[in-house]
Amino acid sequence: MTLPSDLKDRFPLLSQIVNGHEIVYLDSAASSQKPDCVIDAMNNYYETINANVHRGAYEIAAQATEEMEQARRRIASFIGCQSPHEVVFTKNATESFNLIARSWGGSNLSEGDAVLITDMEHHANIVPWQILSAEKGFEIRWLPLTPDGLLDLDQLDQLLDGVKMVSVTAMSNVLGTLNPVSEIAERAHAAGALVAVDGSQYVPHLPTDIQELQADLLCFTGHKMCGPTGIGVLWGREELLDSMPPFLGGGEMILDVRRDGFTPNELPHKFEAGTPPIAEIIGLGAAVDFLDSLGMENVRQHEIALTDYALRSLNDRYGDEIVIHGPSDPLQRGGVISLEYRDVHPHDLSQVLDQRGICIRAGHHCAKPLMKELGVVATSRASMYLYNDESDVDALVDSLESAGEMFAL
Amino acid sequence: MTLPSDLKDRFPLLSQIVNGHEIVYLDSAASSQKPDCVIDAMNNYYETINANVHRGAYEIAAQATEEMEQARRRIASFIGCQSPHEVVFTKNATESFNLIARSWGGSNLSEGDAVLITDMEHHANIVPWQILSAEKGFEIRWLPLTPDGLLDLDQLDQLLDGVKMVSVTAMSNVLGTLNPVSEIAERAHAAGALVAVDGSQYVPHLPTDIQELQADLLCFTGHKMCGPTGIGVLWGREELLDSMPPFLGGGEMILDVRRDGFTPNELPHKFEAGTPPIAEIIGLGAAVDFLDSLGMENVRQHEIALTDYALRSLNDRYGDEIVIHGPSDPLQRGGVISLEYRDVHPHDLSQVLDQRGICIRAGHHCAKPLMKELGVVATSRASMYLYNDESDVDALVDSLESAGEMFAL
Amino acid sequence: MSGLEELYKEIILDHYRNPRHRGELDCPPAHKTEGFNPLCGDEVSLTFLIEEGSIKELRIAGQGCSISQASASMMAAAIQEKSIEEVRDLTREFKAMMSIHEETMTNADQESASAAALTLGDLEALKGVVKFPVRIKCATLSWNTLLTGLDDLDT
Amino acid sequence: MSGLEELYKEIILDHYRNPRHRGELDCPPAHKTEGFNPLCGDEVSLTFLIEEGSIKELRIAGQGCSISQASASMMAAAIQEKSIEEVRDLTREFKAMMSIHEETMTNADQESASAAALTLGDLEALKGVVKFPVRIKCATLSWNTLLTGLDDLDT
Ligand SMILES: Cc1ncc(COP(=O)(O)O)c(C=O)c1O
Ligand SMILES: Cc1ncc(COP(=O)(O)O)c(C=O)c1O
Question: Worst-scoring range by mean pLDDT, A121-125, D8-12, D58-62?
Answer: D8-12
Q: Measuring from each residue's beta carbon to the nearest atom of ligand 1, which residues come in under 6 Å?
A: A 251, 274-275; B 92-94, 122, 124, 169, 173, 198, 200-201, 221, 223, 232, 366
Mean pLDDT value of segment A26-50: 98
> What single DSSP character describes residue A49?
I
Question: What's the mean pLDDT in C12-22?
Answer: 91
What is the C-alpha separation between B54 and B202, in angstroms, rounded? 31
The conformation of residue B142, written as its DSSP 8-state character, comes to: E
Catalytic residue among B81, B226, B359, B366: B366
Output the CATH code of domain A7-30+295-408: 3.90.1150.10
Reported as a single tens digit per residue, the pLDDT across B75-95 is: 999 999 999 999 999 999 999
Mean pLDDT confidence for A95-112: 98
| pLDDT band at B354; cut points 50, 70, 90 | very high
Burial class of residue C151, CB neighbours in 10 A (0-12, 13-18, 19+) = exposed
First to last CA, chain A: 47
Q: Whose CA is nearest to atom 14 of ligand 1?
A: B30
Cα A139 to the center of its chain, rounded Å: 25
Contact D66 A345 (CB under 8 A): yes
Q: pLDDT-derived band of residue C1, with 50, 70 and 90 as boundaries?
A: very low
Q: What's the rounded mean pLDDT across residues B270-284?
A: 98
Residue C67 distance to chain B (closest CA, Å):
8
Name the interface residues of D facing B (CB cutoff 8 Å). Answer: 36, 38-39, 101, 103-104, 132-135
Closest partner CB to C133 (pick from A66, A82, A265): A66
Q: What is the pLDDT of residue D101?
A: 54
**Centroid of ligand 1 to alpha carbon of B221 (angstroms):** 7
Provide the sign of the torsion angle of the four alpha carbons A202, A207, A212, A218, taken in this order: positive
Element (H, E) at A228: none
| 3-state DSSP assignment of residue A137 | coil
Return the minimum-mean-pLDDT range out of A196-205, C68-77, C97-106. Answer: C97-106
Statement: residue A216 has pLDDT above 60: yes
pLDDT at C116: 47
- Boundaries of every domain in chain D: 3-149
For chain B, where do the domains classified as CATH 3.40.640.10 start and end?
A: 39-293
Is the Cβ pair B363, C67 closer than 8 Å?
A: no
**What is the whole-number distance in angstroms between the Cα of residue A232 and the centre of ligand 2?**
10
Q: How far apart are CA A34 and CA A23, in angstroms?
A: 15
Domain covering D3-149, topology: Sufe protein. Chain: A (3.90.1010)
**Of B153, B161, B171, B148, which is closest to residue B225 (Cα–Cα)?**
B171
> Which residue in A47, A142, A360 is closest to B13 by CB distance?
A47
Compare C108 and B92 and report the one with higher pLDDT: B92
Chain D residue with Cα closest to B266: D38
Pure H helices in A5-111: 36-44, 59-78, 93-99, 106-108
Reported as a single tens digit per residue, the pLDDT across A50-59 is 999 977 779 9
| Contact (CB, 8 A) for C26 and C49 | no
User: Rounded distance, CA D45 to CA D76, Å?
Assistant: 12
Per-residue pLDDT at A47 exceeds 70: yes
Ligand nearest to C-alpha B249: 2
Q: What is the pLDDT of residues B216-251, one digit of tens each?
A: 999 999 999 999 999 999 999 999 999 999 999 999
Per-residue pLDDT of B328-349, as tens digits, reads: 999 999 999 999 999 999 999 9
Residue B201 pLDDT greater than 80, yes or no:
yes
pLDDT tens track for B125-167 = 999 999 999 999 999 999 999 999 999 999 999 999 999 999 9
| Number of residues that make up chain B | 409
> What's the CA gap between A20 and B22, in Å, rounded?
48
What is the mean predicted confidence (pLDDT) over D125-132? 86
Q: Using H for helix, E for strand and C for coil, what is the string for B333-365? A: ECCEEEEEECCCCHHHHHHHHHCCCEECEEECC
CB-based contact A230 B50, cutoff 8 Å: no
pLDDT recorded at residue A309: 98
pTM: 0.94
Q: Are B93 and B200 in contact (CB under 8 A)?
A: yes
Q: Is the pLDDT of residue B409 over 90?
A: no
Taking CB atoms and an 8 Å cut-off, how many pairs form between chains A and B? Answer: 309
With 0-12 / 13-18 / 19 or more C-beta atoms within 10 angstroms meaning exposed / middle / buried, residue A50 is buried
Start and end residues for every CATH 3.90.1150.10 domain found in chain B: 7-30+295-408
- If one looks up domain B39-293 in CATH, what number appears? 3.40.640.10
pLDDT at A141: 98
Chain B residues inside the 8 Å CB shell of C3: 19, 355
What subunits touch chain B, counting only 3 or more CB pairs under 8 A? Answer: A, C, D
pLDDT at B24 over 80: yes
Using a CB–CB cut-off of 8 Å, the residues of B that contact D are 54-57, 61-62, 65-66, 69, 73, 76, 82-85, 254-256, 263, 265, 269
Contact A220, A199 (CB under 8 A): yes
**Above 90 in pLDDT, residue B309?**
yes
Per-residue pLDDT tens for A360-390? 999 999 999 999 999 998 999 999 999 999 9
**Alpha-carbon gap, residue B122 to B366, rounded angstroms:** 6
Question: Which atom of ligand 2 is the closest one to the Cα of B251?
Answer: 9
What ipTM, to 2 d.p.?
A: 0.92
